[in-house]
Amino acid sequence: MTLADILSKEQIITELRATNRWEAIDELIDRLVVCGRIKPEHRDPIAAVVRKRETSMSTGIGFGIGIPHASTDLICEVVGAFGRSRQGVNFDALDNQPVNLVMLFLVPQGQFQKHLHTLANIAKLLHNKEFRRNLEAAPDAEHMFNIIKEHSLSK
């Protein structure tokens, strides 16, 4: 499963308003509700699961990347939202640097292998410096999604 399989241009926020990881997570979950990827009544329980996971260890993996994620029985397929912050988000990242690119994803409960593979694929893609630069320079969500599709194909 690639990043392009999980996202659509509607699930990309080009200018996150968040200043910390909790606000970024809320903003991305809200986008999933608006896009119809998660039910409004599931918003708070899903946010709680992601927050619980994030509290155990920050998913700010360095290089300006945050990948908050969790498993939940409130969805039946992998879903995600992507956000970009030009000013940077305090994510308590491993390298203590602000995060500019945040990829939130959710995996159905019990699909541990899919969860690990999805996380590994996203992390590998976001570790590509050229890919990150292209996303940071893209003028809008459509261009960002096209960059994600191109890089997902070239794997």
Residues in the chain: 155
Backbone angles phi, psi at 36, to 5 degrees: 75, 15
Structure token pair of residue 35: 């896009």
Specify the residue for token string 């659509």.
Answer: 8
- Measured CA to CA in angstroms, residue 137 lies from 101, 114, 119, 147 at distances of 12, 30, 24, 11
Residue ranges of alpha helices (H) inside the chain are 3-6, 21-34, 43-56, 112-126, 129-137, 141-153
Q: Which residues are catalytic?
A: 69
Separation of alpha carbons 11 and 80, rounded Å: 7
